[in-house]
Amino acid sequence: MSPERRSWLMSRVGSKDTLPELVVRRLLHSMGLRFRLHRKDLPGRPDLILPKYQTAIFVHGCFWHRHPGCSKTSNPKSRPEFWQAKFYANVQRDARVVSSLEAIGWKVEVIWECETRDKVKLEKRLRDIFCLDEGWGNRP
Ligand SMILES: [Zn+2]
């Protein structure tokens, strides 16, 4: 990794625009889908919303949000009670946010960080979510 790249990555730590989010945004954009970011007036401030599809997308880090069955969802060895409580709170909050959004008519999708590694699979996943056909038909 180059020093520039490293410092770019470090500069992103703690910012709300994570790399997996940027991957999803770029892909949606390339698919010609319109979205908005971090709408404060919606429960949980979804990472992305697609007003046309009344769909909110969260791009979740596997570790913090406990992706079920994912290899990145490891348990830290030290202070297990602390981590269990923290993870539990995160998962509970996520579930609350999903039901609040659904209650006001939004569809909610979660894209996991590990799903953003494989762009081909991710694009297929997004096409499935938005019921788009393969190929040129839906290109702008
Ligand atoms: Zn994962």
- Sorted by where each begins, the domain ranges of the chain are 3-131
Which residue would you say has higher pLDDT here, 67 or 133? 67
CA 9 vs. chain centroid, Å, equals: 18
Cβ contact 28:126 at 8 Å: yes
Q: How far is the CA of 68 from the centre of ligand 1 (A)?
A: 7
Q: How far is the CA of 34 from the centre of ligand 1 (A)?
A: 26
On average, the pLDDT of the chain sits at 88
Look up tokens 């539990």; give the residue. 88
Which residue would you say has higher pLDDT here, 7 or 130? 130
3-131, which class in CATH? alpha beta
User: Can you give the pLDDT at residue 139?
Assistant: 52
Average pLDDT on 83-104 reads: 96
Beta bridge partners of 60: 112
**Which spans in the chain are helix H?**
3-12, 19-30, 62-65, 80-103, 119-129
Q: How far is the CA of 56 from the centre of ligand 1 (A)?
A: 19
* Alpha-carbon dihedral 50, 53, 59, 65, rounded to 10 degrees: 130
> Hey, is 27 helix, strand or coil?
helix
Q: How far is the CA of 79 from the centre of ligand 1 (A)?
A: 23
pLDDT tops 60 at residue 122: yes
- DSSP 8-state code for residue 16: S
Could you tell me how many residues make up the chain? Answer: 140
